[in-house]
Structure 1
């Protein structure tokens, strides 16, 4: 997946190859209208995605340095009745505190979203109206300035019933959320357990049906490859290429073979053995699995449950040599010949242009912002 340029008419290109125009980010942002600034902040990131959930009690959101290496931070959870846990913590901050955190995260390329439902809610079995629930939750996201949602639907009874009610509920809920949180402006992800992608098991079609009906509305899947059996998804082969007969065809590449886009599949794991019933993999082994998957053509990324048990050091290990963490060492002043910073070749602003991310491969014509605006040309 490459940077989508849907709003390029809002900005003239700055020509560069590996260089940037010397326009300070603050100056650029001040030149934009409030609406343009809002769109800029809400641009959806591209793969690979490095997602960190936060549900355990902490008094405030982590600093950028504590979660460096992640590009999505998910507050958990927003429930049908309202905010709980870290979503409630966010709600109780002052507007100024929220604005400050969002600004810091934006500058670091970290999107702040909220996760919905979780293991304590059963939306279909409990009779939640998917349209009304979507409208209420979307309104909360907008009111509190977040950049999207993650649907952590865990109504196992509804799925196991095999009537299709669970899948239909998810389809209706996702569709309505997208009417309120437009694609490209807000992130919308799902966090299904891996077995729900197994074909020919679920009477309603499982997540393969969900993907076939509303997959185009979903930015990516934070797949839970854990809590599904003591030996499930605990080796690179079982995680990536060949799942067990208990949950057939639910390894990463098997899910892709069933029609789910490979770059939408994010490998989800617990931070420690204590964070899940089973399915834990040591970060060093997980890094090896990630490397193998990448060589085989996958670029989805990694999700982990949860902060503060996973921080920057955890994701640095898992990213390894596949997606090395950018150096934080200041570049020394050169005493040799330098290349002058190019002068912008056009005029305009950066409305609608996403923030630069170190783990994104930019192709010709792609535009991004990072302390300035740049456009790569080949």
Structure 2
């Protein structure tokens, strides 16, 4: 088993921040409260985006009925977060936020307090901003937004995650997320890696390989294994590519990673409506061993 500088400290702690089981909730087809009895540790509500005035607004699926069920999850010990952005967030909307980061952070922090959330997930997918083609610097924006959120969020609700795509660790995309983690990695609790919708960057051979966006590649860049959450589609129709049967996710990805590192950041699923019985989550919870408390 490999050992790393952070592992000794982590293993001395009875509740290491590892082995999370994360699910994105972006459809109200299933009651949010049903996940209170599931194996998921983190439920991320999706999505919130800025309106033309810059005010953060919820997607239509996050109705008042859905939001009223947040306390049920928290009472069950779940961490409930809000995802900002997503694939439907336009470059113009991101640029609007980048132009007034402090205002955006204040808006997001107010939303966290209004709904009693535990933190924020940043799902930035304006790829052109990492290649100099969007009219603003996406890497610096992610650094600035993370810093602003860390300052604006109350200490009790300061969980911050990002959901990068694997290519964002490569030089073609300015090694953006390596630079982001170098700058503000101490303020980012974990990364929900989107190992889907990117053929060539989503297969088990890639994830277990040594290139920049692989687990080993990220660790080599100084990112702790306990911050790396492996993201996969739950249902076969939840992404354009990258889906695998859950048994294959366990056998070909999770088990080898746990064998090598013992603790990893965990596993993320997109999306909740495809796991109505919680069986996908239960299978992965059993594979993430040894079990550990999470943050």
- Work out which of the residue numbers 258, 278, 298 in structure 1 matches 2:241: 278
Contact 2:197 2:241 in 1 (8 A): yes
- Work out which of the residue numbers 306, 315, 331 in structure 1 matches 2:281: 315
Q: Distance in 2 between matches of 1:279 and 1:59?
A: 24
Q: Distance in 1 between matches of 2:34 and 2:78?
A: 11
Q: Does 1:301 align with 2:266?
A: yes
Aligned to 1:273, what secondary structure does the other structure show?
coil
Q: Which residue of 1 aligns with 2:73?
A: 105
List runs of 5+ in structure 2 lacking aligned partners: 1-9
Q: Which residue of 2 aligns with 1:191?
A: 163
Q: Distance in 1 between matches of 2:223 and 2:25?
A: 27
Alignment of 1:129-140 (within 5 A): 129-140=100-111
List runs of 5+ in structure 1 lacking aligned partners: 6-43, 243-247, 325-358, 363-378
Q: Which residue of 1 aligns with 2:226?
A: 263
Higher gyration radius (CA): 1
- Work out which of the residue numbers 272, 276, 290 in structure 1 matches 2:254: 290
Q: CA deviation at 1:183?
A: 4.8
Aligned to 1:274, what secondary structure does the other structure show?
coil
Greater per-residue helix proportion: 2
Contact 1:76 1:116 in 2 (8 A): yes
Q: TM-score scaled by structure 1?
A: 0.66
Q: Distance in 2 between matches of 1:130 and 1:149?
A: 15
What's the CA shift string for 1:173-201, capped at 9, x where partnerless?
11111111145642111111111122x33
Alignment of 1:51-90 (within 5 A): 51-58=22-29, 60-64=31-35, 68-81=38-51, 82-85=56-59, 88-89=62-63
Q: CA deviation at 1:209?
A: 0.6
Q: Which residue of 2 aligns with 1:173?
A: 145
RMSD (CA atoms): 2.8
Q: Distance in 2 between matches of 1:3 and 1:117?
A: 37
Which gives a bigger RCO, structure 1 or 2 (Cα 8 Å, sep 6+)? 1
Distance 1:3 1:80, change over 3 A: farther
Contact 2:166 2:193 in 1 (8 A): yes
Distance 1:164 1:257, change over 3 A: farther
Q: Which residue of 2 aligns with 1:216?
A: 186
Q: TM-score scaled by structure 2?
A: 0.83
